[in-house]
Amino acid sequence: MSEVTLTRKVSFSAGHRYWDADLSEQENRVRFGNWASPYNHGHNYVLWVSTRGTTDPENGMVVNIKWIDDTLQERVVQRFDQKSINDEVEAFTNVSPTLENLLMYFYESLRDLPGAVELTHLRLDETPLLYGEWTPEMLTLTRTFEFAASHRLHAHTLSAAENERLFGKCNRPHGHGHNYVLEVTVSGQPDATTGMICPLDELDQVIEERVIERYDHRNLDLDLPELQGKCTTSEVVAQAIYDQLEGHLPARLERVRLYETARSAFTVERPR
């Protein structure tokens, strides 16, 4: 019998800070970058928990969802909701409450879920622009950006009639534009001191310089050397962005996902 994956979502609101009281202000800013502050800030966290197993022939379920919900309430919501993580969650008294460390904490807390299911994936959203994921293979961090650009879908090896038939209105001579949404995912082991896979400000700086500043409010066909002479489908653009970032980020690049519209996403992943 095939296995089935069940994913359940839970939310909680909590505050935290990136600050070591044993360090000076300057030392804290060197360690935590723009996020260093002796005062708390808060987030509306969203945690997605995925489990996998075979369907029980008697009740038709992989696991009783109420069991999962009860466990998430006890081990996540009751421990974290409306709390200051640094001050009220014992595990983080001397541990930086980063997305990465929170994911590892939730993995340890939820690895023995009730029923004959296996914990396979966790995703924790800190903001709409930042989330982390845990799987048995790796820990990742994803940053989200936006840029607006125009292009025209036109293959130079095809005739005008063939281009019009293939691309339709996307082949109109003066082009059209999109508000692209870009997700960049990196992986690694959290630093023992900061709790981060990499400094977020360094990650953001590279992506801003190598992609956003170059692509935003540009004509992709005319303004980007790496796209010159190519048919600028989102598949091609996503690959070009991956190539622009590979080897330049402060962590291992795992995935680039480009949303051309809310209905269409194109993903380039590191070869396995």
- Which tokens in the block code for residue 215? 């692509």
Contact (CB, 8 A) for 4 and 55: yes
Catalytic residue among 217, 246, 248, 269: 217
Place of tokens 């008697």: 58
**CA gap 217, 258 in Å, rounded:** 16
Task: Specify the pairing of strand 252-261 against strand 264-269.
Answer: antiparallel
Catalytic residue among 164, 170, 183, 226: 170
- Of 171, 179, 169, the closest CA to residue 152 belongs to 171
**CA gap 232, 34 in Å, rounded:** 36
Whether 170 is catalytic is yes
Q: Which residues are catalytically annotated?
A: 170, 217, 260
